[in-house]
Amino acid sequence: MIDHDDIKGLKLDGLHSLGASLLSYRRDNPSTVLVMFKSDVSQSFRRLPMHPLWQVKQIITVDDQRHVDRNNNFGGRGSPKVLISFMCLVAWIAIHSF
């Protein structure tokens, strides 16, 4: 189970921090062409399976039938840490495999 103290206070970057980063980059690199793209990361959260003991907390009842949501939910308190942990593993593999 995820300890509450391990995930409290975690906040993903928002538009304000993006704007500040872009302004800072532009000040440091005024003539560089900057290309940006946007992606919907909500599906990357959903691709990660959750531990069976956590799945018990994600049971949804619809018309008296119970459905188990086996994947990570976007917007949950621990969701960003699960995704970041996975992405750190991917980065580690990429660095140490080649």
**pLDDT by residue, tens only, the chain of 98 residues:** 567 776 666 666 678 888 888 999 999 999 999 888 777 666 787 888 888 888 888 888 999 999 998 888 776 777 888 888 888 898 899 999 87
Model-level pTM?
A: 0.54
Residue 58 has, within 13 A of its CA and on its CB side, a CA count of: 17
Quick one: pLDDT at residue 83?
Answer: 84
Does residue 45 form part of some domain?
Answer: yes
Domain count, the chain: 1
Does residue 72 form part of some domain?
Answer: yes
Q: Are 76 and 46 spatial neighbours (Cβ–Cβ below 8 Å)?
A: no
Q: Please report which helix (H) or strand (E) contains residue 6, including its range.
A: helix 4-7
Does residue 47 form part of some domain?
Answer: yes
Domain that holds residue 28: 12-97
